[in-house]
Amino acid sequence: MSSLIRITTSEVKSFLSAIPKWKFIPNMNSTSDTLVRVYQFKSFEDTWSFLTKVAMRSHKLGHHVKIINLYNVVELELTTHDVGGLSELDFKMAKAFEKSAEQLGLKE
Protein backbone atom coordinates (compact mmCIF):
# COMPACT_ATOMS: atom_id res chain seq x y z
CA MET A 1 0.00 0.00 0.00
CA SER A 2 1.14 3.55 -0.67
CA SER A 3 2.65 5.50 2.18
CA LEU A 4 0.25 7.71 4.09
CA ILE A 5 2.40 10.80 3.96
CA ARG A 6 0.96 14.16 2.96
CA ILE A 7 2.27 15.18 -0.43
CA THR A 8 3.24 18.73 -1.33
CA THR A 9 1.36 21.02 -3.71
CA SER A 10 4.11 20.63 -6.32
CA GLU A 11 3.84 16.83 -6.04
CA VAL A 12 0.05 17.13 -6.41
CA LYS A 13 0.50 19.03 -9.66
CA SER A 14 2.85 16.34 -10.95
CA PHE A 15 0.44 13.52 -10.04
CA LEU A 16 -2.49 15.36 -11.66
CA SER A 17 -0.95 14.92 -15.10
CA ALA A 18 -1.95 11.23 -14.94
CA ILE A 19 -5.59 12.09 -14.06
CA PRO A 20 -6.32 15.36 -15.91
CA LYS A 21 -10.11 15.29 -15.38
CA TRP A 22 -9.72 15.43 -11.60
CA LYS A 23 -9.64 18.85 -9.96
CA PHE A 24 -7.34 19.80 -7.09
CA ILE A 25 -9.21 21.82 -4.47
CA PRO A 26 -6.79 23.25 -1.89
CA ASN A 27 -8.09 23.35 1.68
CA MET A 28 -11.65 22.31 0.83
CA ASN A 29 -14.01 23.27 3.67
CA SER A 30 -11.00 24.76 5.48
CA THR A 31 -9.87 21.27 6.47
CA SER A 32 -7.68 19.63 3.87
CA ASP A 33 -6.77 19.44 0.21
CA THR A 34 -9.15 17.37 -1.90
CA LEU A 35 -9.36 15.75 -5.32
CA VAL A 36 -12.78 16.05 -7.00
CA ARG A 37 -14.19 14.42 -10.13
CA VAL A 38 -17.70 14.38 -11.61
CA TYR A 39 -18.74 11.47 -13.83
CA GLN A 40 -21.87 11.21 -15.97
CA PHE A 41 -22.88 7.73 -17.11
CA LYS A 42 -25.18 6.62 -19.90
CA SER A 43 -27.67 4.95 -17.56
CA PHE A 44 -28.68 4.46 -13.95
CA GLU A 45 -27.48 0.84 -14.18
CA ASP A 46 -24.00 1.93 -15.31
CA THR A 47 -23.93 4.43 -12.46
CA TRP A 48 -24.61 1.74 -9.88
CA SER A 49 -22.10 -0.61 -11.47
CA PHE A 50 -19.50 2.13 -11.06
CA LEU A 51 -20.55 2.86 -7.48
CA THR A 52 -20.18 -0.82 -6.61
CA LYS A 53 -16.62 -0.78 -7.98
CA VAL A 54 -15.87 2.40 -6.02
CA ALA A 55 -17.23 0.84 -2.82
CA MET A 56 -15.27 -2.38 -3.25
CA ARG A 57 -12.00 -0.57 -4.04
CA SER A 58 -12.49 1.74 -1.05
CA HIS A 59 -13.21 -1.18 1.27
CA LYS A 60 -10.24 -3.19 -0.02
CA LEU A 61 -7.81 -0.31 0.52
CA GLY A 62 -9.43 0.93 3.75
CA HIS A 63 -9.60 4.43 2.31
CA HIS A 64 -13.09 5.78 1.80
CA VAL A 65 -14.23 8.32 -0.72
CA LYS A 66 -17.03 10.85 -0.34
CA ILE A 67 -19.73 10.01 -2.89
CA ILE A 68 -22.51 12.29 -4.11
CA ASN A 69 -24.96 10.69 -6.54
CA LEU A 70 -28.02 11.84 -8.48
CA TYR A 71 -29.38 9.41 -11.09
CA ASN A 72 -26.52 9.04 -13.62
CA VAL A 73 -24.16 11.65 -12.13
CA VAL A 74 -21.53 10.75 -9.54
CA GLU A 75 -19.22 13.20 -7.77
CA LEU A 76 -16.25 11.75 -5.90
CA GLU A 77 -14.09 13.56 -3.35
CA LEU A 78 -10.79 12.09 -2.16
CA THR A 79 -8.60 13.20 0.72
CA THR A 80 -6.51 11.52 3.41
CA HIS A 81 -7.89 12.78 6.71
CA ASP A 82 -5.06 11.17 8.71
CA VAL A 83 -2.50 13.46 7.05
CA GLY A 84 -4.74 16.51 6.62
CA GLY A 85 -4.36 16.55 2.85
CA LEU A 86 -3.59 14.31 -0.08
CA SER A 87 -1.45 11.18 -0.13
CA GLU A 88 -0.31 8.90 -2.94
CA LEU A 89 -3.23 6.62 -2.02
CA ASP A 90 -5.72 9.28 -3.17
CA PHE A 91 -4.09 9.32 -6.60
CA LYS A 92 -3.92 5.53 -6.76
CA MET A 93 -7.65 5.37 -6.10
CA ALA A 94 -8.43 8.16 -8.60
CA LYS A 95 -6.58 6.21 -11.32
CA ALA A 96 -8.52 3.05 -10.46
CA PHE A 97 -11.82 4.95 -10.60
CA GLU A 98 -10.88 6.40 -14.00
CA LYS A 99 -10.21 2.92 -15.34
CA SER A 100 -13.53 1.61 -14.01
CA ALA A 101 -15.45 4.54 -15.51
CA GLU A 102 -13.75 4.12 -18.89
CA GLN A 103 -14.66 0.42 -18.95
CA LEU A 104 -18.34 1.25 -18.38
CA GLY A 105 -18.40 4.17 -20.78
CA LEU A 106 -19.31 7.73 -19.94
CA LYS A 107 -22.05 9.87 -21.44
CA GLU A 108 -20.62 12.30 -23.98
44 contacts: CB under 8 Å, gap ≥ 6: 71, 72
Instruction: Give the per-residue pLDDT at 23.
Output: 96
- Could you say which DSSP state residue 95 is in? H
Range of the domain at 14: 9-104
Instruction: Give the per-residue pLDDT at 29.
Output: 60
Phi, psi of 46 (to 5 degrees): -65, -40
Q: What is d(CA 27, CA 66) in angstroms, rounded to the nearest whole number?
A: 15
The domain total for the chain is 1
Is 87 inside a domain boundary?
yes
The SS3 of residue 36 is strand
CATH number at residue 74: 3.30.1360.20
Query: Going residue by residue through the chain (108 aa), what tens digit of pLDDT does each one get?
Result: 446 899 988 899 899 999 999 999 987 665 788 999 999 999 999 999 999 999 999 999 989 899 999 999 999 999 998 888 899 999 999 999 999 999 999 987
Is 3 inside a domain boundary?
no
Is 2 inside a domain boundary?
no
Instruction: Give the per-residue pLDDT at 9.
Output: 85
Instruction: Give the per-residue pLDDT at 2.
Output: 46
Is 4 inside a domain boundary?
no
- Could you say which DSSP state residue 22 is in? S
Is 25 inside a domain boundary?
yes
